[in-house]
Amino acid sequence: MPRSVTEMLVVVALGGNALLQRGEPMTAETQRDNVRRAAASLAEMVRAGHRLVVTHGNGPQIGLLALQGAAYRPDEAYPLDVLGAETEGMVGYLIEQELENALDHAVPVVTLLTQVVVDSKDTAFANPTKPVGPTYEEKEARRLAAARGWRIAPDGTGWRRIVSSPLPLEIPDMRVIKLLVEREVIVICAGGGGIPVVKLEDGSLVGVEAVIDKDRASGLLAEQLKADALLLLTDVDAVYRQWGTPQASPVQAISPDETELLDLPVGSMGPKVEAASRFVQAGGAVAGIGLLADAAKILDGTAGTLFLGRKVDDGA
């Protein structure tokens, strides 16, 4: 099928906190309701003529699975790479089914468990920054950290467990992803940043205890696919200057060289801005950050924050 003039190949990254928002009960029903709304936004983009590759976060989900495992047999809990594979399948299944329903099964959709290679010597293993699991009051978070050997950090108005988040270097499954995209299949892949693995001297792969940042993995995926656009969708409507202060103001458009002036949270908005900037610098037409419900509007520049390859004036 030839591509139309307006059609773009878009990598859409659905944030874990957008699929399970802060304060919501971590139930299957809640997640399905949120995924159904996400699927409606994605379907709108497909009907507008765009081709999609979808990724998603797993911070809340992988933390929940880790808690369930520890409650059963703490000494036999599954490692984070295995939990990452479980959440990739679980969330991917929900997105696949709801997107198929939203499109009346007119477009093929598939979920692909995706391994992502990281460096075993990455300094991130000694400096955890990635929030996972539910939000706690500070006192409860400190109690759990002492009891379970967690590292914790503030996240919004609460506290969460943080884990290592090494940089993604390679996507071994890229050949399969490209083949599916060429066949006009909507691919759901690299969920939760992908399953973290390291490459041994003999070339074999083995999982490691980490959670790769979904936005960085999505940026790498978009670059290697030579996608036209990268959308990073979350539970915040835009990137903000002076976030968390009374002077906070949304950024409508920005160039990569201007992002250094923003003071951004390391484990959440920081990687999104980094991924968006890198994608544009690598030749991508446009990147955007904003609300999941505003996906189509972000793409046409009427919502969220756009990243462009030149210095811009957003009026802020």
Could you tell me the maximum CA-CA distance found in the chain, to the nearest angstrom? 58
Token pair, residue 103, equals 């499109």
Token pair, residue 202, equals 């003999």
**17 included as an active-site residue:** yes
What's the burial of 88, exposed, middle or buried (CB within 10 Å: 0-12/13-18/19+)?
Answer: buried
Spell out the residues 6+ positions from residue 97 whose beta carbon is closer than 8 angstroms to its own.
none
Strands 158-163 and 130-136: antiparallel
**16 included as an active-site residue:** yes
Candidates 92, 130, 133, 193; catalytic one: 130
**311 included as an active-site residue:** no
CA-to-CA distance for 214 and 34, rounded, in angstroms? 18
Candidates 17, 63, 288, 290; catalytic one: 17
**214 included as an active-site residue:** yes
Candidates 133, 272, 284, 304; catalytic one: 272
CA-to-CA distance for 56 and 39, rounded, in angstroms? 12
CA-to-CA distance for 12 and 189, rounded, in angstroms? 10
Candidates 133, 192, 214, 304; catalytic one: 214
Residues with active-site annotation: 16-17, 130, 214, 272
